[in-house]
Amino acid sequence: MLNLLQLDLASLRLLVLAASSQNLTKAADGAHMTVSAASKRLAELERVTDCTLFIRLPRGLQLTPAGRGLAEHARLILEGVERMAHDANDFSHGVRGHVRLFANTSAVIQFLPKDLNTFLAANPHVRIGMEEALSDSTIQAVEDGRADIGIFADNVLAPNLEVRPYRADQLVLLVPNDHPLAERSQLSFADTLDYDYVALNQGSSLLRRISDAAHDARKLLKVRIQVASFDGICRMIEAGLGIGILPLESVRHGLLETSLKAVPLEDHWASRTLFAGVAVNTRLSPEAANLFSFLTSLE
């Protein structure tokens, strides 16, 4: 049985560097060691773990299955130590609590900057660690305990969370100023499906929403290009590569004044609710409970 006390952080960091570069010289440089010292450390790590971690080749290192697995464990250990160091530094400077928040892109772009600024102005001794993620991933992070609070779209199921409304937003059709649909004061989603779309990548709740709506209309959603961000959608639409659907407040106002037109949608699903959720039967820290109460009192 491996004695964890025989592992040191410097060796674990070297293992991660070697696994990433698959080159002993580069790993040694990254760890600020000589090549001979790095080689001895890796050999000692193999002795302690009783595993062959690398196959030494003339031009580098090749990871074994054990090397891949233990390098991933080492990476997670080092991330945890780094978080501990950050937390210790915060506590030494008067921070009383940390809150882990996951949120989807719509919330991050439209609402959270202002809302979190307001909350932190009234609670200066709280630290919020926020991560942007898809709605499904956000819910999973709360269920797994990696997040205290999650913010996600209303068309993603969260049966294991206590859910409350956070904010409402409005989806609009975004088209170039010279597009045939730009003259419309409003229209139904079905009327747009003869045109090519620019959309978010697979897995996003927004793509799921418009794909489901196209299915209900018994028409095909013709996605020409998929990108990873709202800004990417705007740029592609501006270039004339298609049309798209976005939350109105996520579109930079300069674009609406110059090159793009936001056309309101008549469809009921275009009025959307973003939810905040916490794990059921989990006791939140006072700071997390306070933030959850604040966020769900704003709608």
The domain that contains 74 carries what CATH number? 1.10.10.10
Do 183 and 262 belong together in one domain? Answer: yes
What is the domain range of residue 217? 169-268
Window from 48-62, 137-151, 240-254 with minimum mean pLDDT: 48-62
Average pLDDT of the residues of the chain: 90
Q: How many domains is the chain partitioned into structurally?
A: 3
pLDDT of 92 reads: 58
User: 156 with 209, same domain?
Assistant: no
Same domain? 261 vs 186? yes
CB 174 within 8 A of CB 250: no
As a whole number of angstroms, the distance between CA 173 and CA 163 comes to 29
CA–CA dist 242, 175 (Å, integer): 8
- CATH number, domain of 150, equals 3.40.190.10
Tens-digit pLDDT profile for residues 146-192: 999 999 999 999 999 999 999 999 999 999 999 999 999 999 999 99
Burial class of 88 by CB neighbour count within 10 A (0 to 12, 13 to 18, 19+): exposed
Residue 5: per-residue pLDDT: 61
**pLDDT greater than 80 at residue 34:** yes
| For residue 63, pLDDT beyond 60 | yes
- My answer on whether 124 and 204 are in the same domain is no
Last residue of a domain, one of 72, 92, 112: 92
In this prediction, residue 221 carries a pLDDT of: 95
Task: Pinpoint the alpha helices (H) of 6-131.
Answer: 9-21, 24-30, 35-49, 65-92, 105-110, 112-122
Q: By C-alpha distance, which of 257, 144, 137, 274 is closest to 209? A: 274
Which alpha helices (H) appear in 200-251, and where do they start and end?
Answer: 205-216, 230-238
Say whether both 255 and 179 belong to one domain: yes
Q: 150 and 189 share a domain?
A: no
161 and 279 share a domain?
Answer: yes
Rounded to whole angstroms, how far apart are CA atoms 88 and 15? Answer: 25
- Average pLDDT for residues 233-258, to the nearest whole number? 91
Task: Report whether pLDDT(126) > 90.
Answer: no
| pLDDT per residue as tens digits for the range 276-298 | 999 998 889 889 999 999 999 98
CA geometry: angle at 138 spanning 206 and 234, to 5°?
A: 35
Full-model pTM: 0.69
